[in-house]
Structure 1
Amino acid sequence: MTKRKLGSLALTALVGGSLLLPSNLVARAESQPIPQQTAYVKQELRATWIASVLNIDWPSKPGLSITTQKEEFIKYLDEQKAMGMNAVVMQIKPTADAFYPSEYGLWSQYLTGVQGKDPGYNPLAFMIEEAHKRNMEFHAWFNPYRITMPLGKTAELSDLDKLPQSHPARKHSDWVIPYGQQLYFNPGIPEVQKFVIDGIMEVVENYDIDAVHMDDYFYPYKIAGVPFPDEDSYHRYGASEFSNIEDWRRDNVNDLVKHINEQIKAEKSYVKFGISPFGVWRNKAVDPTGSDTAAGQTNYDDLYADTRTWINNGYIDYIAPQIYWNIGLPVADYAKILDWWTKEVEGKNVQLYIGQGDYKINTESNGVQNWFNPEEIPNQLKLNRTYKEFDGSMHFSAKDLRKNPLGIADRLREDIYKHPALVPAMPWIDDHAPKAPKVGKVKQTGAEIQFEIRDHKQSDASYYAIYRFDGKNKGNIEDSTKLLATVHKENKNQLFNDSTVEKGKTYTYVVTALDRTHNESKQTNQIKIKVR
C-alpha cells in the first residue's frame, strides 16, 4: 500500500523497470467517455486509508502523548466526514505487531517508538468508537506476513535477533524467512496460516469492527534475481500435490483467504472481508483473459494472489484493486484496467471498490504529466460511476488528502462527494431490512429544526438516513441529492437537529433505518415545517 514510501514498489518497477514515457503521452482511453457533469449516487462506499506503518498517516510520529494521538485521529475523522467519507480503513497490524493488546503480536513501535511498550490506552477501541460516532464504518486493516520494514539502507531489520525476545517471530524462528532487508512469516507453513487467522479472529471476536481488510502484501514483491527462499517448505508441504512451486504458493494464499472469510462469518456474519490487491491480475500478453497492460509484476504471477479465484468462489465480500495510474497511461491505462475489473466482478457476490492514488496528485510519474492535471482524480471518479458494477472508492491516503493537492479535498467536499452516500448493502450476507422507525413532532429551536427518531424495541437498526425535500411534499428518496445526513443510532429515542435550514422556507422530512449490512427500511411518515 505504501508505494510512494517504498522504492521497491515504485511505478518504474511495476510497469517495466526502466521504461520512461514522453511527457506528451497523455492520450485518453476510449473505453468509456468521461461525463462532464458530476452524477451523484445514493449508495457508494467512500473510504480513506490511514496507514500506521512508518507513521505515514497516524500517529504522525511515535511517542506522542495519548491526548495528542487521540486529537490527531479525531481530526482525520472530522476532515474525512466533511469530505463525504462514510468509512475508514485503519492499519492496526502493520508489521506482526498490534494497535491493541494482543496474544499474537507486541504493541506496535509506531505508537511509542519501542515495540512491546504499552501506550497507556487501547487505540483500537478508541478509534472504533470515534468512527462509529460519526457513522463511519471501521475496516480493520491487517498485514498477514510482514514482520519488519526496511529503513533506508540498514540491513539490521533482516536480523531476527534484533526483535524483542517475546516477539512471536523469535518464539517461532522456524516460521521466519528473510527476504531482501525484511523478515516474513512463511506463507507455506500451516502453523503460520493458523497463527495469522487466529490473530485476525482475536479482533473480530473482541471488537465492534465492520470489516476485515487486507491489502496487496501476500508473498512479497519480487527482488530482481533473488528468489524467495521457500524451496524447503515446498518440498515438505506441497511437492506431493503441486508440480510447481508457483501453484503451491497461490494455493497457500487462496487457503488463507478462504479460511479467514469462513471464520469471520461463523463468528459475526455481518462483518465483511475485503482485499485491496495490486491493480493488475495478469497481463494480456501472458494470459488472453488478462488486462491490456504491461505491468512488470502482477498479482497472479509474482505476488501469488489469485484474485479471480477469490471473486469466483465467494472468498471475499469486496475487492478494491489499487489502480494507481492515470487515464491514458500506455502501459497501465486507468480506464482500461477499470473496465477489466468491472467485467471481472460482473454477476458475482462481491463489491468492487477502486483504490485511488491521491498520493500521486501534483507529482510527475515516469515523465508523464497527467498528475499535474487537477481533473485527473475527478475524472477517474466520474468514470467509475459510469459502471453499474462500481460500488465505491478507497483513497490513499489520509495525509495526502489533508494536504489538498490541486484542491482535491475541496473538490470532494464541494462537488463529487457533496451529498452523503449510504454504504451499499450486501444481500448475500443479509437481505432483511429493519422496520421503519417513527418520528416525533418537528419543531424549531433557534436556527435549527429538531425532531425525535424513535426505534422499535427489537429493531436491529444501526443508523438512520434523513431525507429532506423543499416544499410541502416528499419526493423520491432514491434521489441522492435529497439524502441530508446519516446518524448513528445511540439511543432508542434519538434527537436529530438540522442546522442547515433557511429562514422562510418550508421543508419535508422522512427517515429510514438501516442495519449493519446497510439494508434500508421503508420510510417514516413525512413531517413538514416552515422555518420562521
Structure 2
Amino acid sequence: MTNFSVARKLISFLFISLLINVMFLNAQNQEFNPKYEMRGVWVATVANIDWPSKPGLKVKEQKREAESIIQHCKQLGLNTVFLQVRPSSDVLYESEYEPWSAVLTGEAGKNPKYDPLAFWIEKCHEVGLELHAWINPYRASMNLKQPLGEKYPYYQYPDMFIEYGNKLYYNPGEQWCLQHINRVVKELVRKYDIDGIHMDDYFYPYPIAGQEFADSTSYQKYGASHFDDINAWRRDNVNRTIESLQKSIQSEKPWVKFGVSPFGVWRNSSDDDRGSATKAGVTNYDGLHADVLHWMKNGWLDYVVPQLYWGTNNPVANYTHLVKWWSDNSFEVPIFIGHSIYKVGSDKPDWQNRQQLPQQIEILREHSHVHGSVYFSYKHFKRDLLGLQDTLVNDFYKHPSLLPKYKSVATQKQTRSIYKLKANARTIRWKTDDDNSKKPIKYVIYCHRPFEAFNPDNPEFIMDVTYDTKYKLPKKDSQLRKDYLIRVAVLNESNVEESISSPVQLWY
C-alpha cells in the first residue's frame, strides 16, 4: 500500500469521524433545545401584580415599564407574552362595551390617554414575541366595594350578575352573559393584531365553604327540564361559552389561537377512572365546572396550559404524574405546562431546591404532547429564583425556538416565498409574495458560517424570529468582521415553515 493510499484512507476516516461527531452534537443539541417550544410568561395586571407597577403612573412611565418587561423577556429566551387585558370586566384597550381598568389611572372608566394593548402588541412584535390577550370570562369585580366605571354592564343589567365571596360575577346560565362575552372577544380580535385569546382557571368561582353560588333561579328557568343536576347544567354553560368563543374567533380571524390555562387537576381518579392519581380538594370538573377534556376532545381549543403549581415530591398533586396525565389525555391538542415560579424560595422543600424548576423542564420535554412552559408571573423573574434565569439563558433557552405547530389553526394553501433577500452591514431585508396580507406574518432568520453544514432542524442556526421584512443586527464591540450565510423563511399561521430561501452572504 502506497503512502498516498494510507493518507487518503486516513483523511477519509477523519472526515467520517468528524461528520459523525457533528451529527451527534446536533442530535444532542436538538434534544436539549427543541426547535419548537412554547416559552411564555403571564403578565398579570389585576391588582397591579406585574404591570403597571402601580395605578396612576404617567403614560411615559407605563410605556417604559412595558418596554423593560418585553426586553427582559427577550433576553431570557422567551417567545410569548400572555398579557391580562380584561381582569374583571374592565379593560386595557379601547372598548365599546366595557370601561377602562382602574389599574391604569387609579380611576375606573378613566381614559389613560393611549391604547395600552396596541402599544404592547407593537413592542412585542418588534422583537419577535407573540402577544396573547388574556381575559377572565365571568369575573366582574374583585371587591364589592370597588368603584365601577360608567360603562360597566352591571349598571344596565344588574340581574345578570351574582354576588359571591365579596366579588361580582356574570351569571354563566344567562344567555345575555354568553352573548356579551362573545361581543367582547369579537371586538378584541377584530380590532387588534393579537396572536391569541387566552383564558385562565377562573370559570365558576372557586367554592367557598358555607356559601352558595346563587344561580338556582336560572337553573329552574333554563336547565331543570334538561339536566337532573345543577352541576351538569353549569358545566354545559361553560361548554357553550368555550364552543361559542372558538366560533367567534374563527369568524373574525381564523389564524388567532384560542387557549385556556385550567387548574392543574381535571378530576381525581377516586371520582372518575379517567382522572389523575391525585387528592386535590378542588378540581376543574367538579368545583369550577370546567370540563377541559370535553373541550379538547371536541377541538374547541388550540392549546391548553394546565397550571401544575406543585413540586415533584408533592404527595397530593404530583408534578411528574400530572405532566404525564395531561400528555396522555391531550387529544393531540398541544399542552404547555404552567409553572409556579412565585413559589421558588418558599418554605416548602421542593421550592428550596434550585434544581426543582430545571427538573420540571426536563420532565416535560420527555412527553410527546407537551411542548413548553409558561411562567407565573413575570415580576418574579426580577428577583433571585435560585439561579433559574441563568439556567434558562445558558442551557434550556440557549438558542431561540419557534412556537409549536398548531394543527387546528387555519392556514392559507399557497406557499409564500422569500425573494430579494439582501444582507449588508448590519441590515437584512427581503420581500415576500404576500406583503399586503392583513395577517401578522412572522419570519425565521437562519445564520451560520460558510464552513458549517446548515441543518434547519437544529435550533443553533436560528438567529431570530421577526414580524418585519427588515432586521437590524446589534452593534459589535469588535471591528473584526466575519462572513456568514443568511437564510429566511416564512412561518405560516400554524407556525410551520414555508420554503427556506437560498443563502446570501453577510459580513458582520
**TM-score (norm. length: structure 1):** 0.85
**Deviation of the 1:224 alpha carbon:** 1.2
- Which residue of structure 1 lines up, in the alignment, with residue 18 of structure 2? none
- Which residue of structure 2 lines up, in the alignment, with residue 470 of structure 1? 449
Deviates more, 1:377-386 or 1:243-252: 377-386
Q: How does 1:229-268 map to 2 (within 5 A)?
A: 229-268=214-253
- Measured in 2, the distance between the counterparts of 1:497 and 1:312 equals 44
**Deviation of the 1:276 alpha carbon:** 0.3
- Which residue of structure 2 lines up, in the alignment, with residue 17 of structure 1? none
Contact 2:99 2:150 (8 Å CA) reproduced: no
1:385 to 329, 343, 365: 365
Is the aligned partner of 1:302 residue 2:284?
no
- Measured in 1, the distance between the counterparts of 2:362 and 2:108 equals 43
Q: How does 1:214-225 map to 2 (within 5 A)?
A: 214-225=199-210
Is the aligned partner of 1:479 residue 2:455?
no
**Deviation of the 1:211 alpha carbon:** 0.5
**Deviation of the 1:509 alpha carbon:** 2.7
- Measured in 2, the distance between the counterparts of 1:409 and 1:425 equals 26
Contact 1:176 1:185 (8 Å CA) reproduced: yes
SS, match of residue 124 in structure 1: helix
- Measured in 2, the distance between the counterparts of 1:422 and 1:452 equals 20
Whose helix proportion is higher, 1 or 2?
A: 2
2:259 to 274, 284, 290: 274
- Measured in 2, the distance between the counterparts of 1:451 and 1:167 equals 48
- Which residue of structure 1 lines up, in the alignment, with residue 486 of structure 2? 509
What is the letter of the counterpart of residue 270 of structure 2? A
- Measured in 1, the distance between the counterparts of 2:421 and 2:31 equals 35
Contact 1:434 1:520 (8 Å CA) reproduced: no
| Compared CA separation, residues 412 and 245, structure 1 to 2 (3 A) | same
- Measured in 1, the distance between the counterparts of 2:116 and 2:403 equals 25
What is the letter of the counterpart of residue 234 of structure 1? Y
**Deviation of the 1:355 alpha carbon:** 0.7
> Aligned pairs, how many?
477
**Deviation of the 1:529 alpha carbon:** 5.3
Is the aligned partner of 1:192 residue 2:177?
yes
Contact 1:351 1:390 (8 Å CA) reproduced: yes
What is the letter of the counterpart of residue 237 of structure 1? Y
- Measured in 2, the distance between the counterparts of 1:304 and 1:393 equals 25
- Measured in 2, the distance between the counterparts of 1:283 and 1:388 equals 23
Is the aligned partner of 1:497 residue 2:473?
yes
Q: Which runs of 5+ in 2 are unaligned?
A: 1-27
SS, match of residue 290 in structure 2: coil
| Compared CA separation, residues 293 and 470, structure 1 to 2 (3 A) | same
- Root-mean-square deviation over aligned CA pairs: 2.2
- Measured in 2, the distance between the counterparts of 1:57 and 1:388 equals 32
- Measured in 1, the distance between the counterparts of 2:311 and 2:148 equals 40
Residues 404-440 of structure 1: per-residue CA shift (max 9 Å, x gap): 4212222212221111111122233235474231354
- Which residue of structure 2 lines up, in the alignment, with residue 14 of structure 1? none
What fraction of aligned residue pairs are identical, expressed as a percent?
38
- Measured in 2, the distance between the counterparts of 1:472 and 1:133 equals 31
What is the letter of the counterpart of residue 324 of structure 2? D
1:436 to 404, 417, 431: 417
- Which residue of structure 2 lines up, in the alignment, with residue 522 of structure 1? 499
| Compared CA separation, residues 273 and 85, structure 1 to 2 (3 A) | same
| Compared CA separation, residues 510 and 226, structure 1 to 2 (3 A) | same
Q: Which runs of 5+ in 1 are unaligned?
A: 1-34
Is the aligned partner of 1:44 residue 2:25?
no
- Measured in 2, the distance between the counterparts of 1:65 and 1:234 equals 46
- Measured in 2, the distance between the counterparts of 1:100 and 1:165 equals 16
- Which residue of structure 1 lines up, in the alignment, with residue 337 of structure 2? 354
Contact 1:218 1:303 (8 Å CA) reproduced: yes
| Compared CA separation, residues 310 and 479, structure 1 to 2 (3 A) | same
Residues 475-509 of structure 1: per-residue CA shift (max 9 Å, x gap): 211011221211222x4xx3553657984755333
Deviates more, 1:99-108 or 1:500-509: 500-509
